[in-house]
Structure 1
Amino acid sequence: MILFNCICLLVIVAVLDIHFQGRKAKDFGEKVTNTTKKRRDEIVAQLLSRGHVTVKETAAGMAVSDATVRRDLRALADESKCELVYGGAVLPRDSDFSFQAKSHRNVEAKAIVGQLAASLIKEDDQILIDSGTTAFEMAKHIGRKRSVSVIVNSSRLAAELAHTPGLSVVMLGGHYRPDRMDTIGPLAMTALDQLRGYAAFIGVDGLSMEFGLTASDIESAHLYRLAIKNAREAILLADHAKFQTPSLFKIVDWESVSRVVTDRKPDDKWMEFLTENGIDVIYPEQ
């Protein structure tokens, strides 16, 4: 009888232990799942903000391994939330990385940059403005200038400026992207290569001290590289968020930039870097 009771007690203890271990495993699994979901949501947020992510930067920023980020990106690609590329991922081609979508990000900062940039335009000047949302904010203030020639590859900008007294608008032809309302490709580059003597106001998708100015798509990178090459000077338009990380495709090195217009003073590390490279930094006075 005593032996039978001991056996029953051992069985009960074993069952309770199995249940407890199973509950622990379940709780741990839920914790990992929640952590993974949070991390992947953050990756998606970065994709929507910048258009791309890299494995190295994402792993460093989230304090996880490269292998973990690769697994996350593969899972997101399976859900059609990104497309895998060498070293990282980009937004799907049919995602809403359009002019309208980007125009709702950092609105106040872009307005500040646009107004400051417009103040640099002189009477009888020739300028080129890129097709980004910061440039569109700049265009709102160009009407106060007189006898200014404006080169654009944006149909939205052309329509905004076309009826402004004193402005002459040159619209580059090329392959039209309806989502971004701009033209790119060989035809646009051929037209641009006939132009010289202008000041290029170029917005970017990201910045890096080592990699320079960057764009989220290769077509824009090619076009704006040529625009800067042919310009008498290149003025960078960048709100504070652009200083945090580069995008995927290089436009030019820093030696091609004469001035940077931003909405707030960059941190000491960036200020030192820009000063050492002979680049003027324009930002609002506090």
Structure 2
Amino acid sequence: MTMSQIERRQAILARLYRDGHVQVNQIARDLGVSVATVRRDLRELAGEGLLDLSHGGAWIKPNSDPSFMSKVVRNTEAKRAIGRLAASLVQDGDQIFLDSGTTCFHMAPFLRAKRQLCVIVNSIRIAQELFTPGLRVLLLGGQYRPDRMDAVGPMAALSLDQLRGYKAFFGTDGLGMDFGPTATDIESASIFGQAVRSARQAILLADHSKFDAPALYRIVEWKAVSKLITDTRPSDKWMAFFEQTGIEVLYPQSTDSGG
């Protein structure tokens, strides 16, 4: 059976995190694809900051977190669709915040063509994705998490408390109607929540797998969210909930701003 691009990328990253290094010729033989196909996959993965290219192969990035990378390749096309749509809401000259999650990571490449954009981040990975002329990146300080390459804690929250007038784009590990957007760890929930509370507008990014699957820690209440961007139309139950709470729902197939 022929593997899809997503399946190939997952296989390549799995091998990379097992061995630390992959060879183009060996991967091509193991996956039953051409050397050119593997090289193209490696170039694209390197372009997304997921590995470092070497002669004849690729190396794992220093301080890379396998759990983060497994999330990056999970629902990749959905997250790219969300990222593309989210970036369309960003205008030249805007000031925005991106959280350190994988959905915002997929949004970052679509921002490179913007001009006079100021992007506030707590993620070194995303800051690297935005290294391009015309963009100004404000990297928050704080308690550094090497596994995730981001900054959290009181210092990061204090920095956010000094900022105003930006749009906050943030992801979630799960959504519950009675609880709101959630995260699996309290540090992420705290810093993302602070970013939303200090923003002039909060835009939630969540793919279809996050609905009805709340995690332990609440990021913010639903009343703090103005827009939700997802990859496909939510269920009628959720659409009714968003209409009731006044949250605008956007997804690629929607024909109007109300979804």
CA distance in 2, matches of 1:238, 1:99: 16
Give the CA deviation at 1:101: 2.1
| Aligned-partner SS, 2:202 | strand
| 2:100 matched residue in structure 1 | 131
Unaligned runs of 5+ in 1: 1-95
Checking the alignment, whether the CA contact within 8 Å between 1:175 and 1:183 is kept in structure 2 is: yes
* Aligned residue type for 1:169: V
| Aligned-partner SS, 2:219 | strand
Checking the alignment, whether the CA contact within 8 Å between 1:264 and 1:284 is kept in structure 2 is: yes
- 1:107 corresponds, among 70, 76, 91, to 76
TM-score normalized with structure 1 length: 0.65
Count of matched residue pairs: 190
* Aligned residue type for 2:250: I
Residues 11-40 of structure 1, C-alpha deviation per residue, up to 9 Å, x if partnerless? Answer: xxxxxxxxxxxxxxxxxxxxxxxxxxxxxx
| Aligned-partner SS, 1:197 | coil
Runs of 4+ in structure 1 deviating by more than 2 angstroms, as ranges, are: none
Alignment of 1:14-163 (within 5 A): 98-162=67-131
- 1:173 corresponds, among 111, 122, 141, to 141
The reply on whether 1:190 has 2:158 as its aligned counterpart is yes
CA distance in 2, matches of 1:99, 1:153: 15
- 2:208 corresponds, among 240, 254, 272, to 240
The reply on whether 1:262 has 2:230 as its aligned counterpart is yes
* Aligned residue type for 2:234: P
* Aligned residue type for 2:224: S
Residues 75-131 of structure 1, C-alpha deviation per residue, up to 9 Å, x if partnerless? Answer: xxxxxxxxxxxxxxxxxxxxx763212112111111111111000001110000000
CA distance in 1, matches of 2:220, 2:213: 16
Residues 192-250 of structure 1, C-alpha deviation per residue, up to 9 Å, x if partnerless? Answer: 11111000000010101000110000001111111111000100000000113100001
Checking the alignment, whether the CA contact within 8 Å between 1:99 and 1:181 is kept in structure 2 is: no
| Aligned-partner SS, 1:176 | strand
Give the CA deviation at 1:158: 0.8
CA distance in 1, matches of 2:226, 2:113: 24
| Aligned-partner SS, 2:228 | strand
Unaligned runs of 5+ in 2: 1-64, 255-259
CA distance in 2, matches of 1:253, 1:174: 25
CA distance in 2, matches of 1:98, 1:155: 16
| 1:216 matched residue in structure 2 | 184
Structure with greater helix percent: 1
Checking the alignment, whether the CA contact within 8 Å between 2:97 and 2:166 is kept in structure 1 is: yes
CA distance in 2, matches of 1:97, 1:195: 32
The reply on whether 1:272 has 2:225 as its aligned counterpart is no
Identity among equivalent pairs (%): 58
| RMSD (Å), alpha carbons | 1.2
CA distance in 1, matches of 2:123, 2:192: 13
| 2:26 matched residue in structure 1 | none
CA distance in 1, matches of 2:130, 2:185: 26
